[in-house]
Amino acid sequence: MTYLRPNFRHPDAPTNRIGFTEKDYEGALSTLCAGCGHDSISSAIVSACFELSIEPHRVAKLSGIGCSSKTPTYFLSNSHGFNSVHGRMPSVTTGANLANRDLIYLGVSGDGDSASIGLGQFGHVVRRNLNMLYVLENNGCYGLTKGQTSATTDLDSVNKAGVNNPFEPIDLTKLALQLGATFVARSFSGDKEQLVPLIKAAISHRGFAFIDVISPCVTFNNNPGSKKSYDFVREHCEATATIDFVPMQEEITTAYEPGSTKEVTLHDGSVIRLQKPMTDYRPDNRHAALEALHRAEQRGEILTGLLYIDEDPSDLHDTLNTVSTALNALDEEALCPGNKVLQSINRSFR
């Protein structure tokens, strides 16, 4: 079901420093719903990697399970990818990174994948400061299993099945800050102007970089107040009780200035208020970042942008003091102590 894009390459397409066109960073055709925020993120990843002139095959893409976790198929088709099991991308990425410190690790996850089943692994990969970019494609619901609430769903929002969410959402940026993440940012899937530079910065960061990307699920994330044009159709679907009609939607895009607040209307008519910190906001204080998040929240705003960065962290390989050669590149020579040593070990057992 995964279609490979036609391999047509435009002769005048601009190339980057190492001679690749943006097309070289693309993946298979997406099978997500039309207008899904996750697709916008994939395209931001493509742009960021192109602009950074990364060799595509030096990236490893890892994910859990969910619509979001499917996306690594839809970018960087010359990279190896690993769509693992639900909620466990962090551990798989940790192992991969330990095996070969020389690649770039790009982990993609959903809010269900990270904040529900994966909360434990999320907390611990942060704590270990694994050198990776962790992209949370946060749509506040379970897309792939048809719209249940997740742990980041807003309080009192109503899902497709008409169930009201009675729980406070978990804000993973706060948790990441609390647990010692060395790069924490938030953005909006449709805000390429903000998202692409953040991804670039995160990839360049030598340590754990977390980006919480608000990414609207056009199909299931419907807030209650919504009174949009397709009421008739919606009622129709409700009556038939099969959630199998997904109207075609357009990608939601936005752009706004640092220091400003922007209201973004989602497909269902609900509105979120995104806020970019002032240009003089200095993301060098973990505690201040938590403060800023807290204040924005009190104003009903979602603070976006780079919230915190520790510019010189020590990553897991530093902590473990591993050799600079990738562990997967060591051979018998380097690894096997040989029979002579073994015989002396035998002596210790006599």
Partner 1 sequence: MSVVNAASASFQSGKKANQALNELVVKFANVNGTGSASANNLFAKAIFRMGLPVSPKNIFPSNIQGLPTWYEVRISEKGYLARRDGVDLMVAVNPQSMVKDVREVVSGGYFLYDSTKPLDLRLVRDDVNYIGIPLTAMCLQEYTDPRQRQLFKNIIYVGALAALLDIEFEVLTGLISDQFKGKEKLIAPNVHALELGYQYAAKHFDCPLAIKVERRDLVGDKILVGGNDATGLGAIYGGATVAAWYPITPSTSVVEAYEKYAKRLRIDAGTGKQKFAVIQAEDELSAIGMVIGAAWNGARAFTATSGPGISLMSEFLGLAYFAEVPAVLVDVQRTGPSTGMPTRTQQSDLLACAYASHGDTKHIVLLPSTPKECFDFTAQAFDLADRFQTPVVVLSDLDLGMNDHLCDPFDWDDSRRYDRGKVLDAEQLDQLTAEGKRFGRYLDVDGDGVCYRTYPGTHPNKGSFFTRGTSRDEYAIYTEDGSVYAENMDRLLKKFDTAKSAVPEPVSIPSHKGRKPQFGIILFGTSVFAVEEAMDTLADAGLHGDALVVKAFPFHPEVEAYLARHEQVFVVEQNRDAQMRTLLMSELDESPGKLIPLLNYDGMPLTASKVVSEIRATMTRDAVAEKEPVSAGAAE
Ligand X SMILES: Cc1ncc(C[n+]2csc(CCOP(=O)(O)OP(=O)(O)O)c2C)c(N)n1
Pairing label, strands 80-83, 104-110 = unpaired
Q: Comparing C-alpha atoms, which of 45, 51, 36 is closest to residue 216?
A: 36
- Three-class secondary structure assignment of 75-120: ECCCCEEEECCCCCHHHHHHHHHHHCCCCEEEEEEEHHHHHHCCHH
288 binds a second copy (CB under 8 A): no
Phi, psi (degrees; rounded to nearest 5) at 234: -65, -45
Cβ pair 181, 210 in contact under 8 A: yes
13: left (phi over 0), alpha (psi -120 to 50) or beta: beta
191 binds Mg ion (CB under 5 A): no
213 binds ligand SF4 (CB under 6 A): no
Q: Comparing C-alpha atoms, which of 153, 168, 157 is closest to residue 214?
A: 153
- For residue 275, the partner it binds in ligand X, Mg ion, a second copy, none, with Cβ less than 5 to 8 A by kind, is none
142 binds partner 1 (CB under 8 A): yes
194 binds partner 1 (CB under 8 A): no
- For residue 65, the partner it binds in ligand SF4, Mg ion, ligand X, none, with Cβ less than 5 to 8 A by kind, is ligand X
Separation CA 148–CA 173 (nearest Å): 22
218 binds ligand SF4 (CB under 6 A): yes
138 binds partner 1 (CB under 8 A): no
Subset of residues 93 to 122 that bind partner 1, contact rule: CB under 8 A: 93-100, 102-103, 116-117, 119-121
Phi, psi (degrees; rounded to nearest 5) at 276: -105, 135
Sequence-separated (6 or more) residues with CB below 8 Å from residue 331: none
Separation CA 101–CA 27 (nearest Å): 24
Subset of residues 193 to 252 that bind a second copy, contact rule: CB under 8 A: none
Subset of residues 44 to 73 that bind ligand SF4, contact rule: CB under 6 A: 67
Question: Measured from the CB atom, is 76 or 195 closer to partner 1?
Answer: 76
DSSP label of 158: B
Tell me the closest approach of the beta carbon of residue 171 to a second copy, in angstroms: 8
Choose which of 26, 111, 171, 212 interacts with Mg ion (CB under 5 A). Answer: 111
Q: Give the contact letters, 6-45, x = binds to ligand SF4 (CB under 6 A), - = no.
A: --------------------------xx--x-x-------
Choose which of 219, 222, 270, 304 interacts with ligand SF4 (CB under 6 A). Answer: 219
- For residue 192, the partner it binds in Mg ion, ligand X, ligand SF4, none, with Cβ less than 5 to 8 A by kind, is none
Q: Which residue has the tokens 């020579």?
A: 333
Subset of residues 123 to 142 that bind a second copy, contact rule: CB under 8 A: 123-124, 127-128
Task: Please state at what angle helix 192-204 crosses helix 37-51, rounded to 10 degrees.
Answer: 50
Choose which of 46, 60, 179, 213 interacts with partner 1 (CB under 8 A). Answer: 60
Site of interaction with a second copy (CB under 8 A): 116-121, 123-124, 127-128, 151, 166-168, 170, 174-175, 178-180, 287, 290, 294, 319-320
Site of interaction with ligand SF4 (CB under 6 A): 32-33, 36, 38, 67, 139, 143-144, 217-220
Site of interaction with Mg ion (CB under 5 A): 110-112, 139
